[in-house]
Amino acid sequence: MDALVGRQPILDANNRTLAYELLFRSGMENRFDGSDGDSATGAVITNTFVTIGCNRVLGGKRGFINLTRTLLVEEKALILPSNRVVIEVLENVEPDAEVMEACRKLKSAGYRIALDDVTAANFESPLMLYARYAKLDWPAIEESDRRRICGQLKRKGVRLLAEKVETKAAFQAARSFGCELFQGFYFAHPEILSARQVPASKLACLRLVGEIQREELDFAKLEGIVRVDVGLTQRLLTFANSAIFSCGRHISTLSHAFVVLGENNIRRWVTMAALSSMASGKPAELVTLSLTRARFCELAAENSGLRRRSSSCFLIGLLSLLDVMIGTPLSELVQELGLESHVSQAILGASPDGDHLASVLRLTVALERTDYEAAGEHAAAIGLPFGMVGELQFQAMVWADSIPT
């Protein structure tokens, strides 16, 4: 499965990219396919912040995200990080009492709001009271109206963004009337970013949704749900490593990821990740093998000199086949997931001197290949009696087969 998101740069008068408008894309043809607006926005949010990761999509810049009336009044924007997004209210959203109240709450919560496709017909909208930006539909505004509209909006303290700028002359005209930001084909066409994703179990997603309804979250239960699902593990680590948090810490275990996020952000993550539509067609054999590796690595650690690092060993086994599942080199994946250096090196098959985390993964791979000579060497390296290896492998297989996917 490919997760796609389009982005078009928003620039200042010196051609510096300050933000991106994020766009729904269902395929590589680089156009909107007319999908339902609510679903399209949901896909943009999930793909940006959970699957591809806002580090890659936005870098250190903000993302302008279109919200429909339904998503506004249902307060879905509150799951987004206020320091990374601008909420773009579409031109067809009527400024009724519910919409006005939703925008008031967003502004009070620290969100920046942009009104889309502003023209002479709607530039006096009551929603302008809450707007930080007015996105002027430049070709649709008559030349005779431009000075008046731009002047009135600037006096209200609204920043002017000229959109659909397609020529140098249009850019120069918009700048002369006080526009500070610009967007359009004159600068750049939208580009598509993509990432392969591992589908998550619908059952696991439903269980997560149920857990976040509790007044106090049970981190142990949440970890128990996520740890047996490769897709959810990928989403969690991508989200925890995003620039939203920029805590400078690397993740060593799933427990650590939950601690880094905290309750509020865990609820946000579940809403974004688990409520998005999950496609079928998961490569079941690869998932089962990943679970078998994870459980075997955990059991091997618990019965050897690595017992204090069994949670990290579980994660190493679980993610060891992620490159095969999504077609991206492991070296790139571990960087995207923000793993602790010892964990990421072990997944890549390397360990610093004196650290035997990689040996536990090499052990399970050797067993899969029935290379018992190598398996004996790796078991000895971690202090695991070789006589226990067969039983632990059987236990891991039975456990993995029992997990519903």
**Dihedral through CA 117, CA 119, CA 124, CA 125, nearest 10?**
-30
Strand, coil or helix: what is 119? coil
Q: Which residue has the tokens 């093998």?
A: 289
pTM here? 0.63
Asked if residue 9 lies in contact with residue 161, where contact means CB atoms within 8 angstroms, the answer is no
- Residue 269 DSSP label: H
Domain extent listing, the chain: 2-194, 201-405
Nearest to 44 by CA among 10, 79, 96, 92: 79
* CA distance linking residue 124 with residue 1, whole number of Å: 44
Question: How far does CA 374 lie from the centroid of its chain?
Answer: 39
| pLDDT in the model for residue 68 | 87
| pLDDT in the model for residue 250 | 76
Asked if residue 313 lies in contact with residue 300, where contact means CB atoms within 8 angstroms, the answer is yes
Taking each helix axis from N to C end, the angle separating 284-302 and 389-401, rounded to the nearest 10 degrees, works out to: 140
User: 301: burial class by Cβ within 10 Å (0-12, 13-18, 19+)?
Assistant: buried
* CA distance linking residue 63 with residue 361, whole number of Å: 39
Nearest to 93 by CA among 113, 79, 110, 109: 113
| pLDDT in the model for residue 282 | 45
Q: Residues with Cβ < 8 Å from 213, sequence gap 6 or more?
A: none
For residue 401, CA distances in Å to 254, 291, 292 come to 22, 9, 8
CATH architecture of residue range(s) 2-194: Alpha-Beta Barrel (3.20)
Burial 325-335 (b: 16+ CB within 10 A, else e): bbeeebeebbe
Sign, Cα dihedral of 315, 317, 318, 322: positive
Measured over all CA atoms, what is the biggest interatomic distance in the chain, rounded to whole angstroms? 87
* CA distance linking residue 326 with residue 215, whole number of Å: 36
Q: Where are the beta strands (DSSP E) in 248-336?
A: none
Q: Which two tokens stand for residue 157?
A: 């303290």
| pLDDT in the model for residue 280 | 38
* CA distance linking residue 402 with residue 399, whole number of Å: 5
CATH architecture of residue range(s) 201-405: Orthogonal Bundle (1.10)
* CA distance linking residue 379 with residue 223, whole number of Å: 28
* CA distance linking residue 304 with residue 383, whole number of Å: 5
Phi, psi of 9 (to 5 degrees): -70, 150
Digit-by-digit pLDDT tens for the chain (405 residues) are 577 889 999 999 998 999 999 998 765 554 444 456 787 888 888 888 877 888 888 888 999 999 989 889 988 888 888 989 999 999 999 999 999 999 999 999 999 999 999 999 999 999 999 999 999 999 999 999 999 999 999 999 999 999 999 999 999 999 999 999 999 988 887 888 777 666 677 667 767 876 876 788 899 999 998 988 888 888 888 888 775 555 556 788 888 888 888 888 888 788 777 545 433 344 567 778 888 998 999 999 999 999 898 988 988 998 888 888 777 788 887 877 777 888 888 998 876 656 788 999 999 999 999 999 999 999 999 999 999 999 999 999 988 887 655
Strand, coil or helix: what is 195? strand
Asked if residue 159 lies in contact with residue 180, where contact means CB atoms within 8 angstroms, the answer is yes
DSSP 307-351: GGGHHHHHHHHHHTTHHHHHTS-HHHHHHHHTB-HHHHHHHTT--
